[in-house]
Amino acid sequence: MRISKLSNPTLGRFVLPEQRELYLRMKEDEKLVHMPVLEQDELESFQYQLRDAAREDYAVTVTWWQSVKGELGTTRSMWGVVKWIDANARRIKLVNDEDVQWIPIGCIVSVRA
């Protein structure tokens, strides 16, 4: 099988580390997404699950969107116990064995028990 230079433009030429880094950064930027738009009933469901998890002290998995470049970002997930719901700052404190994370309530896109 023969690989053409068109399918792999770096084949047969020297690439500077700076060029490679820029190329990889551009590929990472292509993976960024806009914040998902959620329905009101989904948001209310998340808030109910978070309050219940905090009250009953059981673990949940929270997925949230995090801005990377302006309106583009990535989603992150973490499991843990909701230790605090800060209604004034509109964020939750999620704690597990390895990490503590303050997550903005407005950025949460999924909560699973």
pLDDT values of the chain reduced to their tens digit, one per residue, 113 residues: 455 445 555 556 777 888 888 887 777 777 888 888 899 999 999 999 999 999 999 999 999 999 988 889 999 999 999 999 999 999 999 999 999 999 999 999 999 98
Is 88 contained in some domain? Answer: yes
Is 52 contained in some domain? Answer: yes
Q: 0.85 cut: is pTM over it?
A: no
- The parent domain of residue 45 ranges over 35-112
The CA distance from 93 to 59, in Å, is 12
The CA distance from 39 to 53, in Å, is 21
* Sign of the torsion formed by the C-alpha atoms of 31, 36, 42 and 43: positive
Is 7 contained in some domain? Answer: no
Spacing of C-alpha 95 from chain mean position: 17
